[in-house]
Amino acid sequence: MSSMIKTNEVQSNSLNECFINYPVEKLKKQETSLRLAQALHQKLHKESDLVVNVRKLQRFIQNESTQVSVTVHGVIIESMNCNESWCSTESFKSTLDLGYIHDESIVSSALWLEPLQEGIFKSDPSLEEDFIMMALTFDDGPVPMTMKLVDILKTTNTKATFFLIGSEIESKPTMAKHIVDLGHEVGNHTYSHPHIPQLSLEEIKYEMNRTDSIIEEFLGFKPSIMRPPYGEINEESLNAFSHRIIQWSLDTVDWHHHDHLTILGILNESIDGDIILMHDRYEHTHQAVESFIQYQLSCGVQFVSVSQLIESRHLKSRIIHGVRTNKES
């Protein structure tokens, strides 16, 4: 018995010495601090329903005033002067599992933990202008399949912009109202989805004005943005309405590709400032979007409405294609 106690004491002392001498500056390096931030994101939401952008948490972990230490109990993240939204008092302390370090000197690789496999990442409603932003846009609804997409977005608290067809709203006003009630942006996509350059000025006015009236009647506001069907617009058409025209910088071509992995591959080419074109009526689009959102949120990407992107990136032109940059998140 005494031999067993002595052996355990040696092991315990050895572990404590390992923790004491652990080079904690490694925990603030890019890869490890991001993983710890991901784990902290999920823990805060689980414990207090807080949703904090992963990059905000990573920046907090890397801050000089934040102490990160390794003990037998886990990775301790602590700040005695915390002014962040997730701190209920000036002091903050949270302990994360040692498995998030991914260091075999502490934990066997068989016990390493991956935050992406352990919970759902959600969108932080509080935006940071210097973080990566993308606008997800969906055309041609509302249709019954739209509601499945809306449920996917709701799970992660992600907001998008829907360009709705007037005739579809007219026949399914409850669906359209549900989109707005969940905080999504709605734009005009004409009444019957025509090729605008082929119409007369009066026909264009009819398409736009009737859809505006339908949106105002059923949803309670007049939209300030529109997307021309097929992206087709000409100079003469611009005199028929005053809306801002929203095109795109990344087209998933989801009407042509019927494999969600192909669409996901295109989505993964996205960068800061992108306006991404999709359609809400395709199940393969839903599958790709669900995976895409989850991974991007785990990296701190912010999904915003088109109008939020325009405001944050100070876009002035009437026709908006997005503003692609290589901004680091």
Which residue numbers are catalytic? 139, 279
| C-alpha to C-alpha distance for 95 and 114, rounded to whole angstroms | 16
d(CA 229, CA 192): 9
Cis amide bond preceding 142, omega within 30: yes
Q: If you search the block for the tokens 């700040």, which residue do you land on?
A: 79
CA proximity to 100, closest of 63, 61, 135, 56 = 61
The Cα–Cα gap between 19 and 12 comes to: 11
Between CA 313 and CA 274 the distance in angstroms is: 11
Q: Shortest CA distance to 301 belongs to which of 329, 277, 326, 276?
A: 329
Where does residue 298 rank: exposed (0-12), middle (13-18), buried (19+ CB within 10 A)?
buried
Strand partners, 10: none
Rounded distance between C-alpha atoms, residue 133 and residue 74, angstroms: 33
How many angstroms separate the CA atoms of 71 and 98, rounded? Answer: 8
Distance (Å, rounded) from C-alpha 309 to C-alpha 134?
7
Q: How far apart are CA 86 and CA 99, in angstroms?
A: 23
* Closest among 154, 139, 228 to 186, alpha carbons compared: 139
- Burial (CB count <10 Å: 0-12, 13-18, 19+), residue 30: exposed
